[in-house]
Chains A and B, each alone.
Chain A
Amino acid sequence: MPDTDLDAPDQPSLTTVHEPTTSTSSPLGGMPLLRPTLPRLAPPLMLLAAFAVAVVLGLTVSSLNPVALLAETAVLYGAAIYTTSAVVEGRRNAVDRLVTVVVTTFFLLALLPLVSVLLEVVRDGYKRFDVTFFTYSMRGVVGEGGGAYAAIMGTLIITALTTVVSVPIGILTAVYLVEYSKGSRLGKVLTFFVDVMTGIPSIVAGLFAVALFVLFLGPGARAGVIGAVALSVLMIPVVVRSTEEMLRLVPNELREASYALGVSRWRTITKVVLRTSVAGIVTGVTLAVARIIGETAPLLVTVGTTTSSNTNPFSGRMATLPVFSYYEYAQPGIPRGPYLDRAWAAALTLIIIVMALNLIARLVSRFFAPKTGR
Chain B
Amino acid sequence: MKRTTSARAAVPVALAISLTLAACGAANEDSGSGSSSSGSASGGTTVSGTIAGAGASTQTVAQQTWKAGFEGSNPDATVNYDPIGSGGGREQFLAGATQFGGSDAYLKDEELAKVPSTCGEVIEYPVYVSPIAIAYNLKGVDNLKLDATTLAKIMKGEIKKWNDPAIKALNEGVDLPATTVVPVHRNDESGTTQNFTDYLHAVAPDVWTDKASGEWPISGGESAKGTQGVVQAITAGDGYIGYADASQTAELGNAQIKVGTSFQGPSAEAAAKIIDESERVSGRGKYDFAIDIKRDVASEGVYPIVLASYTLACTKYADQKTADLVKAYLTYTVSPEGQQAAAKAAGSAPISDSATKNAQTAIAAISAG
* Residues of A participating in the B interface, judged by any CB pair closer than 8 Å: 129-143, 145-147, 149-150, 152-153, 156, 219-222, 300-301, 304-309, 311, 316-317, 327, 329-334, 336, 349, 352-353, 356
Contact = CB atoms under 8 A, between A and B. Distances in A.
Kindly name the residue among B19, B64, B250 whose own CB sees the greatest number of chain A CB atoms within 10 A. B64
A132 B12 CA distance: 10
Interface in B223-271: 226-228, 247-248, 250
A222 B99 CA distance: 14
Interface stretch (B54-62, B279-287, B322-330): B54-62
Interface string B293-336: 00000000000000000000000000000000000000000000
B345 A153 contact: no
10 contacts: A138-B64, A140-B28, A141-B34, A147-B26, A153-B23, A306-B80, A307-B64, A317-B52, A333-B61, A349-B16
Contacts of A329: 228
Nearest to B25: A309
B83 A327 contact: yes
B159 to A, nearest CB: 31
B71 A150 contact: no
B292 to A, nearest CB: 26
B205 interface: no
A249 to B, nearest CB: 35
B338 to A, nearest CB: 12
B35 A139 contact: yes
The binding surface of chain B is classed by DSSP as helix
B218 interface: no
B83 A331 contact: yes
A331 B248 CA distance: 9
Contacts of B57: 327, 330-331
Contact of A219 (B72, B97, B228): B97
Nearest to B231: A336
Contact of A334 (B11, B15, B36, B250): B250
Interface of B: 8-9, 11-13, 15-16, 19-20, 23, 25-29, 32, 34-36, 50, 52, 54, 57-58, 60-61, 64-65, 67-69, 71-72, 78, 80-84, 88, 92, 95-98, 226-228, 247-248, 250, 341, 345-347
A332 B26 contact: no
A152 B15 CA distance: 11
B82 A304 contact: yes
B115 to A, nearest CB: 14
A178 B67 CA distance: 54
A130 B35 contact: no
A334 B247 contact: yes
B19 A152 contact: yes
B52 to A, nearest CB: 7
Contacts of A152: 16, 19
A217 to B, nearest CB: 10
Contacts of A300: 82-84
Contacts of B72: 140
Contacts of A309: 25-26, 29
Contact of A135 (B26, B88, B250): B26
A325 to B, nearest CB: 13
A117 to B, nearest CB: 17
Contacts of B250: 334
Contacts of A304: 52, 54, 80, 82
Contact of B64 (A142, A301, A352, A353): A142
B12 A137 contact: no
Contacts of A150: 26
Contacts of B28: 135-137, 139-141, 146-147
A146 to B, nearest CB: 8
Contact of B50 (A219, A316, A349, A352): A316
Nearest to B62: A333
B136 to A, nearest CB: 19
A327 B83 CA distance: 9
A332 B248 contact: yes
B266 to A, nearest CB: 14
Contact of B12 (A134, A139, A305): A134
Given A149-B26, A317-B80, A333-B347, A135 B19 contact: yes
A136 B26 contact: yes
A219 B96 contact: yes
Contacts of A305: 80-83
A145 B34 CA distance: 9
Given A142-B341, A330-B57, A301 B84 contact: yes
Contacts of A331: 57-58, 60-61, 83, 227
A141 B29 CA distance: 11
A2 to B, nearest CB: 38
A137 B35 CA distance: 12
A334 B32 CA distance: 25
Given A220-B97, A311-B23, A131 B13 contact: no
Contacts of B71: 139-140
Nearest to B67: A307
Given A304-B52, A352-B12, A330 B228 contact: yes
Contacts of B60: 327, 331
A119 to B, nearest CB: 16
B207 to A, nearest CB: 32
Contacts of B52: 220, 222, 304, 317
Contacts of A306: 78, 80
A352 B95 CA distance: 40
Contact of B92 (A219, A307, A317): A219
A130 B19 contact: no
A129 to B, nearest CB: 6
Nearest to B82: A304
B297 to A, nearest CB: 26
A211 B250 CA distance: 42
Given A149-B27, A309-B29, A331-B61, A352 B67 contact: no
Kindly name the residue among B23, B28, B84 whose own CB sees the greatest number of chain A CB atoms within 10 A. B28
